[in-house]
Every structure is written in structure tokens, then in C-alpha cells.
């Protein structure tokens, strides 16, 4: 902002000095209009021949001969401007307006210069003066229309362009200008019609091709946009904007490799544009080329050190590379540069969430919502962070049960709280509530259903491979250790059942290992609790070979001859899942051919939306696909990728887990999960997934 003001002040001083010199020269000699006109014509010929320096010398001779030759002043100003000397150009035009205040052409020329140096408001004043002086020409209205567009006064701009078209129907520039204004108002189809008219009047109008491409992108028609930009680059291969815009279009078409080529061409022609480095860095990140992405974003920060967006982007690269302290620092810098940036607050809040710093995440995300109340994705992330904070608060008060425990409650009783350690001291009188826990051994899958125990169940026969421990009991002698035997052929899931028995029991006799029973039951760990006021059973001596003896078992059993029948045990219902997740729990669930076909169609639609960067719409289609076919691993993998794109890394990992569960050989799901895990900082698991993906990927035949 300071540079234009300094330049304007300098121009004023130069004009004042020029006025003094002209007054002195005027007093010393009379103007020679004939000589001045001849020199002016020589300058015109030199310009036509492309000899700018000779033309400037001729125009200077004309001005010396007649200081009021405004045509020579305007012509020399035009050459100065072409040579990059804006100060001298401005000086000549100021002089022209001062010596001939009624010359409309001088106002037009000065207005064009002011528009070029970024002063549209002053330019509009000069164009209006020219029109008032009866310079009713297409180029004047067209120039003022462009100045109005620069000030975002699009309605006035459209009026001027329309008037310019009426004055000269065959001029392409007003059609192009009006198309730009219509495009800015979101009237893309009307804009395309104007760009068509401009190109029809000038087939090699390269700028109109670029502008029409932008209008096509507004309609989501990236194919036609790509065609127009390719046509523009054939006409002018040095158009940096055309390279940059085509790179963005090819991103939307899913052609990331081509987008990188276009961005690189734009950078080659203009290495000072931070926007292009940010754009290429984003594609590198999507290709998981994080080091290259960081290099581009670092360059963007150097070129635009006051850009909050650049710091947010570089912070993302630091996080992907595991440099979380630097990532947080960059996003903090972004907030300090632009405290009103919802993007900056969201980015840091998201980083805090992934680093399990939920309280800080909640604070940042709440500020982001204040700045952007309608952002649904930020609200969802905030809800998740607040839920994590509540979980942490609850965990500080009550220790949660183990995650691998499913509680079952007896009818008419409340669930007992789990003990804090593995061997609690039994109370004098056991509580009425009894809790049974299902704890599978490592590597054993959970059963699909736990059937309730019948009333008064018969005494089960333990399997051969089980050591059951009911916990410490008073005055008992443990049996001798025996070596385990092979497991039964088809054992079901492990089950730990609690039974109320007598508090006063006689230690059981030592049981020697016997051969396997004919039909061994499921793996069973029996934990027996006592019941009050039961007469202990008599001591039983071991027999040599009972009919159904247990095999290789260390057990402590508390029994009673007269026990109250055990009430029926019903399993607790599992938490409700979404329809897709509920069905997905059974990967082999039958899916009708019609549903499978519908699911595949929805999956393909979701995939197409992902390629268009319509992430939220893609997730809706993939959700619907999984409702129709919860065994479609492709849909879980695609939805996981969509959530990864939304930086919802934990949810993405859950979807990749399901895809791998359904298809253990799904190499792409392993690869995707590796990047999601890496984003959360779990490098070891990410490396393991990446190695698995490489192992599953077939090596192409040579």
C-alpha cells in the first residue's frame, strides 16, 4: 500500500517541476507546431518499425518544439510504459492533461495507466471525464467497465460493457469483459455465452479461452475447462495463469501427475507465486510424497511470510512427517497472523485431537465454530473431542472394566463392579449380585452368541487343556501340577461362569489325570463362589478310573450336596450399531444378488464423487452401499479413504480394519491404513502395514 502512494507523490512532484520548466521555456521561445508535427510523424514511423528508442527521441523533439503537443506526450508515455518506466509515463500524461484540459484522449490514456498500476477509482474518474467530453467510444466504456469490475461493482461494469457492445458489435473485448463480470456474479452459463461471442469474433483470443474455462469450472464441467485451457496454451505457451488453472482442473479430474507437471511449468515461468507452490505441495501430500510437499510449502512460507494459509499447510506436512512440535508451532503462527481464520483454529484443533490433547482441541474447535458456525465437519470433530474429554473425566473417577470383557447380569440383579486386581479377598458374606465375564484367550475369536445356562445345570466335565482357578479360598490345598494334554477337536469360546455355593467347604481330593472323555465340552474356566448356610459335602476319595474323569486339570472346587438351583443367565445386549456395522459383524451374512448389485452401483457412485473432491456426498453413497451389502470390502476401504481426506484418521482406521477383516489379502487397504496410522503418530504400526501391503502386492512379470 505504501509503494503506490510514494509513487503518486513522486508523480505530483515531477508534474510540478515540469510545469515550471514549461513556463520558462515558453517565455524564451515560441512553439514551432510544424516542426513538432513532423517530429511526431517520425516517431510514429519508428514505432511501426519496432524501434522504440528512436521513436522516444522523435517524440521528445516534437515536445521540445511544441510543449502542448498532447499527441506526442501520449505517444511517448505509451513507449515509456512499454519499456517499464511508469514514472516517466505518468509524468507525460499528467502534463498532457494539464496543458490541454479539454483533450478527452489524454484523460483516456491517463485512466488506462491508473487502472494498470492498481488505482481503479481514479481511473474511473478519468474515463468518466472522457465520456463527458463526448468521447463516446467502445474502448472508453470497455475500460471503465473493467475498472468497475476491479472494484467489484459488477452491475455497473455490465452496464458499461453492454453499452460498449452497442457502439461496436464486432468488438470482442466488451463480450469478454461482460463475461468476466457475469462469472463473478455466479452466472456461469450467461458468461459462457459472452465468451463464445468473443471467441467467435476473434478466434485466437487466448484470454477468452482461459476465462471460459473458469466459467466451466463454476459449473463443474472440468472436461470442457481442460479443453479450453489446452487451447489457450497452444496460443500462448507462456501464460502462467493458464498453466496454473489447468493444474487445478486436472486435480479435479483425478490426474494428479499431470497437475504436478502443469504447476511445475507455472513455477518455471513465475517462481515468485506462493499460490502455485501451495497447490503443488497439496498434490504431493495427496500422493503421500510428504518430503516434497514440505519443501514446496516451506518455499510458500518464504514467499508469503504473512500468509496464514501457508503456515497451516506447512504445519500439515510437519505432522505427516511426525514432527508434531513444528506442526503445532506453524498453526499457532497462522492464528497469530490471522486470528479470524477458522481454518487456522480448525487445523490446530485437529492436530491436538490426533495427539490426544483433547482439552486443547475442544478450546480451538469451539473458536473455529464461532468464526464459522455452519461448518458441519468442524462441529462433528468438536463433538468427538468433547466426548473424549468426558470419557477422560469419567475414567478419573471410576476405573472402566477391561475392554475385552462382556458382562452378563443375573435376572433381577444389578451388575457388580469388577475387582481392581486379579485376586480379591472374599467378603464374609457374598453379595447377592453375581457377575459372569466372557474373556477369550489370546487368538481365540469371540463366539457369535452366548446361550443362557439352563436352570440347575449338571456338573460340567472340564476339557483337557484348561487350568481353572477360582481365586484364593480359606483352608484349601492346591492339587499337584500336571502336564497339559492336546486340546479337544472343536472347542467353543472360553467361558468363565460364576456359581454360588457353600462358604464353608472341604478341600477337594487330589485328582489324577485320566484319559480324554468321549465328548469333551467347550473350553471352560470355572470360578465357584460360595453361598451362605450350606452343609459342606463329605470328603471324596479319588477312584482309579471314573466313567468320565477330567484330564490334566488343576482345579479348586467348592461344592455342596444341597445347592440352590442357579438362575438362568442371560447375556447383556451389545450396543446398537449402524445397520452396515451390525451386518458387517457377520462377514459371511447372506446378501441377495439384487442388494449386492445395488451396493456395487452405490460404491461406484461414491468413488466418482471422491474423484470430484465431493467428500461428504461420497461418504453418503458409501454408507448406503454398506447398508445394502455389509460385506463389500471395497466400500469400507473407499469410505476409509474419504475419512482420511477429511483428516478423520481414527474413523478411517476403523473402516480400513473392516475392509481387511473382510478381505485379509486387500493390499490397498493395508497401504491406506499405514498412512492413517502414520498421521496419528503410530509409526511402528504404519511400517508394519506398509510392509504387509508390499508383501501382498504382486510383482509384475518381467
How confident is the model over 666-702, as pLDDT tens digits? 999 999 999 888 888 888 888 899 899 888 887 655 4
Q: Is the pLDDT of residue 659 over 70?
A: yes
> pLDDT tier at 548 (50, 70, 90 boundaries)?
very low
Highest mean pLDDT among 414-423, 428-437, 585-594: 585-594
Structural domain ending residue among the three candidates 182, 201, 235: 235
CA distance 510 to 513: 10
Does 389 or 488 have the greater pLDDT score?
389
Structural domain ending residue among the three candidates 235, 263, 289: 235
pLDDT at position 29? 66
Domain assignment of residue 476, yes or no: no
Structural domain ending residue among the three candidates 205, 235, 265: 235
Domain assignment of residue 65, yes or no: yes
CB 470 within 8 A of CB 556: yes
Sheet holding 495-501, edge to edge: 524-530, 495-501, 435-438, 406-409, 570-571
pLDDT at position 366? 95
How confident is the model over 180-223, as pLDDT tens digits? 999 999 999 999 999 999 999 999 999 999 999 999 999 999 99
How confident is the model over 495-545, as pLDDT tens digits? 333 333 333 444 444 444 444 444 443 333 333 333 334 344 444 444 444
DSSP annotation string for 337-400: H-TT-HHHHHHHHHHHHHTT-HHHHHHHHHHHHHH-TT-HHHHHHHHHHHHHHHHHHHHHHSPP
Output the domain CATH number for residue 13: 1.25.40.10
Q: Is the pLDDT of residue 309 over 90?
A: yes
Q: Is the pLDDT of residue 41 over 50?
A: yes
Domain assignment of residue 131, yes or no: yes
Q: Is the pLDDT of residue 551 over 60?
A: no
Does 110 or 422 have the greater pLDDT score?
110
CB 159 within 8 A of CB 181: no
Phi first, then psi: give them for residue 530, nearest 5 degrees.
Answer: -95, 160
How confident is the model over 213-234, as pLDDT tens digits? 999 999 999 999 999 999 999 9
How confident is the model over 437-450, as pLDDT tens digits? 333 333 433 333 33
Domain assignment of residue 345, yes or no: no
Domain assignment of residue 302, yes or no: no
In terms of pTM, does the model score above 0.85?
A: no
Give the residues across from 498 on adjacent strands.
527
At 297, list the grid cell: 510449502
Range of the structural domain that residue 102 is part of: 2-235
pLDDT at position 57? 95
Q: Is the pLDDT of residue 643 over 50?
A: yes
Mean residue pLDDT across the chain: 76
pLDDT at position 596? 87
Q: For the ranges 84-93, 116-125, 578-587, which has the lowest average pLDDT?
A: 578-587
Q: How far is CA 558 from CA 125, 480, 566, 657, in A?
A: 104, 17, 15, 44
How confident is the model over 454-468, as pLDDT tens digits? 444 433 433 333 333
Domain assignment of residue 496, yes or no: no
How confident is the model over 95-105, as pLDDT tens digits? 999 999 999 99
Domain assignment of residue 133, yes or no: yes
Number of structural domains the chain divides into = 2
Q: Is the pLDDT of residue 393 over 50?
A: yes
Domain assignment of residue 650, yes or no: yes
pLDDT at position 396? 67
Amino acid at each position: 500500500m505504501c509503494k503506490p502512494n510514494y509513487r503518486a507523490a513522486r508523480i505530483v512532484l515531477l508534474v510540478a517541476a515540469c510545469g515550471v520548466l514549461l513556463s520558462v521555456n515558453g517565455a524564451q521561445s515560441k512553439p514551432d507546431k510544424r516542426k513538432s508535427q513532423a517530429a511526431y510523424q517520425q516517431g510514429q514511423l519508428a514505432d511501426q518499425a519496432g524501434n522504440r528508442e528512436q521513436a522516444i527521441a522523435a517524440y521528445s523533439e516534437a515536445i521540445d518544439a511544441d510543449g502542448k503537443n498532447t499527441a506526442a506526450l501520449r505517444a511517448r508515455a505509451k513507449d515509456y510504459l512499454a519499456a517499464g518506466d511508469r514514472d516517466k509515463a505518468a509524468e507525460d500524461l499528467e502534463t498532457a492533461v494539464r496543458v490541454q484540459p479539454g483533450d478527452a484522449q489524454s484523460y483516456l490514456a491517463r485512466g488506462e495507466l491508473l487502472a494498470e498500476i492498481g488505482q481503479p477509482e481514479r481511473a474511473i474518474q478519468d474515463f468518466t471525464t472522457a465520456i463527458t467530453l463526448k468521447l463516446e467510444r467502445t474502448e472508453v466504456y470497455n475500460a471503465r467497465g473493467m475498472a468497475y469490475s476491479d472494484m467489484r461493482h459488477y452491475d455497473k461494469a455490465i452496464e458499461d460493457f453492454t453499452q460498449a457492445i452497442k457502439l461496436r458489435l464486432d468488438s470482442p473485448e466488451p463480450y469478454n469483459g461482460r463475461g468476466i463480470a457475469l462469472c463473478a456474479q455466479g452466472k456461469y452459463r450467461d458468461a459462457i455465452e459472452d465468451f463464445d461471442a468473443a471467441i467467435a469474433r476473434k478466434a485466437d483470443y487466448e484470454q477468452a479461452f482461459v476465462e471460459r474455462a473458469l466459467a466451466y469450472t463454476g459449473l463443474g464441467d472440468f472436461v470442457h475447462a481442460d479443453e479450453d485451457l489446452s487451447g489457450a496454451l497452444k496460443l500462448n505457451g507462456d501464460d502462467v495463469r493458464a498453466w496454473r488453472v489447468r493444474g487445478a482442473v486436472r486435480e479435479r479430474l483425478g490426474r494428479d501427475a499431470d497437475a504436478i507437471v502443469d504447476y511445475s511449468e507455472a513455477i518455471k515461468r513465475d517462481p515468485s507465486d506462493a499460490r502455485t507452490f501451495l497447490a503443488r505441495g497439496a498434490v504431493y501430500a495427496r500422493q503421500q510424497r510428504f518430503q516434497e510437499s514440505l519443501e514446496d510449502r516451506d518455499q510458500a512460507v518464504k514467499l508469503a511470510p504473512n500468509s496464514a494459509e501457508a503456515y497451516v499447510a506447512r504445519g500439515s506436512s510437519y505432522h505427516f512427517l511426525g514432527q508434531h512440535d513444528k506442526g503445532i508451532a506453524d498453526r499457532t503462527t497462522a492464528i497469530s497472523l490471522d486470528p479470524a481464520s477458522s481454518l487456522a483454529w480448525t487445523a490446530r484443533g485437529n492436530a491436538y485431537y490426533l495427539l490426544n490433547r483433547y482439552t486443547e482441541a475442544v478450546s480451538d474447535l469451539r473458536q473455529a465454530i464461532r468464526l464459522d458456525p455452519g461448518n458441519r465437519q468442524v462441529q462433528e470433530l468438536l463433538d468427538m473431542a468433547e466426548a473424549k474429554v468426558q470419557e477422560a473425566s469419567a475414567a478419573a473417577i471410576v476405573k472402566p472394566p477391561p475392554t475385552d470383557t462382556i458382562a452378563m447380569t443375573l435376572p433381577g440383579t444389578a451388575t457388580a463392579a469388577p475387582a481392581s486386581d486379579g485376586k480379591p479377598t472374599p467378603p464374609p458374606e457374598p453379595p447377592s449380585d453375581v457377575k459372569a465375564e466372557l474373556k477369550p484367550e489370546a487368538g481365540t475369536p469371540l463366539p457369535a452368541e452366548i446361550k443362557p445356562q439352563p436352570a440347575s445345570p449338571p456338573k460340567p466335565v472340564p476339557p483337557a487343556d484348561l487350568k481353572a482357578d477360582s481365586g484364593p479360598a480359606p483352608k484349601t490345598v492346591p492339587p499337584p501340577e500336571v502336564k497339559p494334554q492336546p486340546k479337544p477337536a472343536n472347542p467353543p469360546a472360553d467361558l468363565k461362569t460364576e456359581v454360588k455355593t457353600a462358604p464353608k467347604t472341604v478341600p477337594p481330593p487330589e485328582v489324577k489325570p485320566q484319559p480324554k472323555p468321549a465328548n469333551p465340552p467347550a473350553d471352560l474356566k470355572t470360578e465357584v463362589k460360595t453361598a451362605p448356610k450350606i452343609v459342606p459335602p463329605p470328603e471324596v476319595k479319588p477312584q482309579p478310573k471314573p466313567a468320565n474323569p477330567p484330564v490334566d486339570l488343576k482345579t479348586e472346587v467348592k461344592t455342596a450336596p444341597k445347592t440352590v438351583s442357579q438362575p438362568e443367565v442371560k447375556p447383556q445386549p451389545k450396543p446398537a450399531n449402524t445397520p452396515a456395522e451390525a451386518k458387517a459383524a457377520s462377514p459371511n451374512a447372506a446378501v441377495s444378488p439384487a442388494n449386492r448389485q445395488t451396493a456395487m452401483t452405490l460404491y461406484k457412485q461414491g468413488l466418482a464423487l471422491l474423484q470430484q473432491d465431493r467428500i461428504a456426498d461420497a461418504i453418503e453413497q458409501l454408507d448406503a452401499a454398506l447398508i445394502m451389502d455389509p460385506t463389500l470390502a471395497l466400500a469400507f476401504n473407499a469410505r476409509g479413504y474419504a475419512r482420511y481426506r477429511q483428516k478423520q484418521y481414527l474413523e478411517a482406521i476403523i473402516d480400513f480394519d473392516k475392509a481387511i477383516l473382510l478381505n485379509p489379502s486387500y493390499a490397498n487397504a493395508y497401504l491406506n491404513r499405514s498412512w492413517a496410522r502414520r498421521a496419528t503418530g503410530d509409526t511402528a504400526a504404519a511400517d508394519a502395514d506398509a510392509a504387509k501391503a508390499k508383501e501382498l502386492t504382486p510383482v509384475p512379470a518381467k
